[in-house]
Amino acid sequence: MAYLDRQTATHGDGLSESARSERAWSEFTASNRVKRLALTEHEAVFFEGDRAERLFEITDGAVMLYKLLPDGRRQVVEILGEGSLFGLQASDLYDCSAETLTPVRLRAIDRHDLEAIPDLLGHINQCLLGQLQTMHDHAVLLGRKSAFERVTSFLMRFVPKRGEVGCAGPAKDGPDEKVVVLAMTRQEIADYLGLTIETVSRVFSDLRRRGLIAAEKHDRVRILDICGLCKLTGTH
């Protein structure tokens, strides 16, 4: 199952993105200009400022992109799951660093080889549009949402088909639950949400006290009332 169901589900126009991607990459894979690599969790893929010679597609797992300020403040700018592209730049240097969150399998391709395969362009476009739209939502979160809304919005990311435009609501029968694997430390979550670890921790505790979530492990949460959580995101 994809790390971020929502992320990969957003773009859709008839043909599924993964199918489009496969078709686009196929001739490439054959030409063995595509390198495959496997990384464990919390491994760096590249650093901000490195020469951007390759771009990557996530075959499996999750990757975060982050930027650092000179005094050490960090902002995680994107969290990417299966099917997402990263490392493609407008300039010739990476504008942010990339690090795995989980064990990850990647396909890498030299940026110069890109021009040879115009087929990929459409797929890349679709990917970038999805990422841009996600960034818009994230800007709203960072610029206008409270700590509570940020954390609950973050949790709702992991619940596919809920909190979207035409949300079906909870199933009539049975509880409105889901177990969610965050695969991120408190520090990473805080840096993604523009908060401190303490604030993130406090919100989690509060949600637990209110009976909206239950802790399975530190990075594993059981959401007990998806609808209730959704109402706290500020989006609805």
Partner DNA sequence: CGCGATTTTGATAATGTTCAACAGTAGTGG
Partner DNA sequence: CCACTACTGTTGAACATTATCAAAATCGCG
Rounded Cα distance between 67 and 165, Å, is 31
Q: What does 3 interact with, of DNA, its own copies, none (CB < 5 to 8 A by kind)? A: none
Taking CB under 8 A as the binding criterion, the range among 25-33, 187-195, 207-215, 220-228 that sits at the site for its own copies is: 187-195
167 forms part of the interface with its own copies (CB under 8 A): no
**Among 27, 110, 137, 198, which residue interacts with its own copies (rule: CB under 8 A)?**
137
180: amino acid identity, one letter: V
90 forms part of the interface with its own copies (CB under 8 A): yes
Q: Within 10 A of 156 (CB to CB), how many other CB atoms are there?
A: 21
Q: Which two tokens stand for residue 178?
A: 């889901």
Q: Which two tokens stand for residue 181?
A: 């694997």
* Total interface residues for DNA by CB under 7 A: 21
Burial of 228 (0-12, 13-18, 19+ CB in 10 A): middle
Strand partners, 180: 221
Return the axis-axis angle of helices 197-209 and 147-156, rounded to nearest 10°.
70
* Total interface residues for its own copies by CB under 8 A: 49
Q: Within 10 A of 55 (CB to CB), how many other CB atoms are there?
A: 20
Q: What does 117 interact with, of DNA, its own copies, none (CB < 5 to 8 A by kind)? A: none
18 forms part of the interface with its own copies (CB under 8 A): no
Closest by Cα among 123, 141, 160, 138 to 7: 160
Taking CB under 7 A as the binding criterion, the range among 11-19, 113-121, 126-134, 181-189 that sits at the site for DNA is: 181-189
Q: Which helix (H) or strand (E) holds 149?
A: helix 147-156
Residues 56-75, one symbol each (x = binds its own copies by CB under 8 A, - = not), give: ---------x-x-xxx-xxx
Q: Is 172 or 217 the residue whose CB approaches DNA more closely?
A: 217
1 forms part of the interface with its own copies (CB under 8 A): no
- 3-state secondary structure (DSSP) of residue 85: strand
75 forms part of the interface with DNA (CB under 7 A): no
Closest by Cα among 162, 146, 155 to 221: 155
92 forms part of the interface with its own copies (CB under 8 A): yes
27 forms part of the interface with DNA (CB under 7 A): no
Contacts to its own copies by CB under 8 A: 10-13, 65, 67, 69-71, 73-75, 77-78, 88-92, 95-96, 118, 121-122, 124-126, 128-133, 135-140, 142-145, 191, 193-194, 234-236
